[in-house]
Amino acid sequence: MDQLPNLGREQEMLASMGLKSIDDLFSDIPEDVRRIDPLPLRGPQSEEEIWADAQHLLGANIDLDSRPSFLSAGLARNFVPTMVPMLATRGEFLTSYTPYQPEVSQGMLQAMWEFQTMVSELVGLPVSNVSMYDASTAAAEAITTAVRVKGRKATQKGVVYVSQFVPPHRLSVIENYTQGVGIELRTLEHNSDGMVNLEAASAAAGACAVYVEQPNAFGELDEGITQMKEIIGENTALIVGVDAVSLGIVEAPGNYGADIVVGEGQPFGIGPTAGGPIYGLFACKKDYLRLMPGRIVGKTLDEDGNDAFTLTLSTREQHIRRHRATSNICSNETLIALMGAMHMALLGPEGLEKLALRVAATTEVTKQAISGIPGVELVDPNTPNFREFAVKLPGNAADAVAHMDAAGVLGGFPMGEWWDSMSSCLLIGCDERTKQSDIDALVSALTAWVEEVSA
């Protein structure tokens, strides 16, 4: 057993303690709860055998890069620079714990402080933590944070308005995080063109918070959101969920009044990874700092007066405050945030802008191509899109996806899985890697299906 350096030396170690057998070490477990029989599991494997099985099992999956793929729905089929995994998996980073001892953890602490700065710059807000689990938990804890901060002055006690188009899997997380702590979620309606209904938004003035997404779940950019803060007022927090890459060309929400910005960090740093580990972005105004969740790194001095970094404001956290903590989060997604920081730093400002423009370009080209298919209509023909757009099909979108799948194209996400009323709608996701030949394949596969159902 290669993982156990003391295998075969048990007896001498036991003898030095005056013990006879390994069983003596477990004699404190009462017999009525002791397991006598061996675990009914398979036999051990060598590294070689594990690798072979991993190749076999994971090789049975069809990966996104192996075919034209238009499935996004909140995750990005990105390209992660080679440097990123190579450096992030250096053992000193990979095998460290949360930096409780700053004197021997300056590397990760500084990297996270730099991460906080880059996220802060990206979204236009002064404070960022070192990551949440994902976009959904970031949104959920942004809401509970806002209620803690705005609760007293709010005239609509405990009320939070959530955009009608927050997808159900994200909404479900929000509901689980808010249901027990006196928060009432109300729906913020959108107009028929997909944009937030600003008149309805005025009803949110006096609530604790409003949560909207920019772009929304259909990939639609909404100019109205820039007026939202003025409409809801100072006593109601504006929380904006973003596509992080879009911020290379779309205004930072902090510059149009957002109090808290959340989003999926995944496009920077790591592949879709079957949904995790990824990381959630969480940034806010200074008024939220003392009631926000998650680890925060501060810059300070050491005893000799040299610059140093350390975790700070831990009095918010569970290991100090226990049930009065702002959140139960402790382990977060630091290593993935580190990968994100590396990716962001490598891009730089101009690289970010270019990345965003690449996504905008493929989105636009794909949108034009798809809307030219007879029988296929854009759900919202006049709205600008980033990364994703929704089309209405002459039939069930899940059938269309299955049909295209048989033709070797991953054609998008059937929106009926989110909302029953949208079973004929297909959400098509593009990214910086979408090629003209991918778009041609999608058009051809979708056209073939449309012709078949229309025949």
Residues of span 12-31 touching other proteins by CB under 8 A: 13-14, 16-17, 19, 22, 24-30
- Classify residue 448 by its DSSP letter: H
Q: Binding residue for other proteins (CB under 8 A) from 261, 410, 426, 450?
A: 410
Q: Binding residue for other proteins (CB under 8 A) from 155, 234, 321, 381?
A: 321
Positive or negative torsion for Cα 282, 288, 293, 296: positive
**CB under 8 A: which stretch of 102-110, 146-154, 204-212, 440-448 binds other proteins?**
102-110
Q: Binding residue for other proteins (CB under 8 A) from 198, 308, 407, 443?
A: 308
Helix (H) or strand (E) holding 416: none
User: Would you count residue 193 as binding other proteins (CB under 8 A)?
Assistant: no
Q: Give the nearer residue to other proteins in terms of CB position, either 175 or 189.
A: 175
Residues ≥6 apart with Cβ < 8 Å to 127: 116, 120, 283, 284, 285, 286, 288, 289, 292, 296
- The span from the CA of 442 to the CA of 434, in Å, is 11
Which residues ranging from 426 to 455 are in contact with other proteins (CB under 8 A)?
432, 434, 436
User: Would you count residue 57 as binding other proteins (CB under 8 A)?
Assistant: yes
Least distance from C-beta 39 to other proteins, angstroms? 5
Q: Binding residue for other proteins (CB under 8 A) from 198, 289, 378, 448?
A: 289
Q: Are the beta carbons of 341 and 115 closer than 8 angstroms?
A: yes
User: Would you count residue 325 as binding other proteins (CB under 8 A)?
Assistant: yes
Cis peptide before 44 (omega within 30 of 0): no
Q: Binding residue for other proteins (CB under 8 A) from 155, 176, 202, 371?
A: 176
User: Would you count residue 406 as binding other proteins (CB under 8 A)?
Assistant: no
Which residues ranging from 124 to 143 are in contact with other proteins (CB under 8 A)?
126-128, 130-131, 133-137
Tokens of 137: 């938990």
Q: Binding residue for other proteins (CB under 8 A) from 202, 230, 233, 299?
A: 299
Q: Binding residue for other proteins (CB under 8 A) from 91, 420, 421, 437?
A: 91
User: Would you count residue 355 as binding other proteins (CB under 8 A)?
Assistant: yes
User: Would you count residue 187 as binding other proteins (CB under 8 A)?
Assistant: no
Least distance from C-beta 214 to other proteins, angstroms? 8
Least distance from C-beta 280 to other proteins, angstroms? 9
User: Would you count residue 151 as binding other proteins (CB under 8 A)?
Assistant: no
Which residues ranging from 365 to 394 are in contact with other proteins (CB under 8 A)?
365, 384-386
Q: In 3D, which of 144, 154, 149, 211 has the Cα closest to residue 182?
A: 144
**CB under 8 A: which stretch of 155-163, 167-175, 194-202, 374-382 binds other proteins?**
167-175
User: Would you count residue 291 as binding other proteins (CB under 8 A)?
Assistant: no
Q: Provide the Cα torsion 65, 419, 371, 380; round to 10°.
A: -130
Least distance from C-beta 452 to other proteins, angstroms? 19
Cis peptide before 394 (omega within 30 of 0): no
Instruction: Determine the size of the site formed for other proteins (CB under 8 A).
Output: 207
User: Would you count residue 199 as binding other proteins (CB under 8 A)?
Assistant: no
Give the C-alpha distances (Å, rounded to integers) separating 372 from 305, 378, 391, 392: 66, 10, 11, 13
- The span from the CA of 13 to the CA of 182, in Å, is 55
Q: Binding residue for other proteins (CB under 8 A) from 43, 421, 437, 455?
A: 43
For residue 447, is it left (φ>0), alpha (ψ between -120 and 50) or beta?
A: alpha
- The span from the CA of 276 to the CA of 131, in Å, is 13
**HSE-up of residue 399 (Cα within 13 Å, Cβ side):** 12
Task: Return the SS3 of 390.
Answer: strand
- The span from the CA of 133 to the CA of 143, in Å, is 15
User: Would you count residue 163 as binding other proteins (CB under 8 A)?
Assistant: no
Q: Give the nearer residue to other proteins in terms of CB position, either 203 or 313.
A: 313
Q: Are the beta carbons of 272 and 65 closer than 8 angstroms?
A: no
Residue with tokens 């680890």: 295
User: Would you count residue 420 as binding other proteins (CB under 8 A)?
Assistant: no
Q: Give the nearer residue to other proteins in terms of CB position, either 155 or 187.
A: 187
Q: In 3D, which of 105, 71, 117, 68 has the Cα closest to residue 441?
A: 68
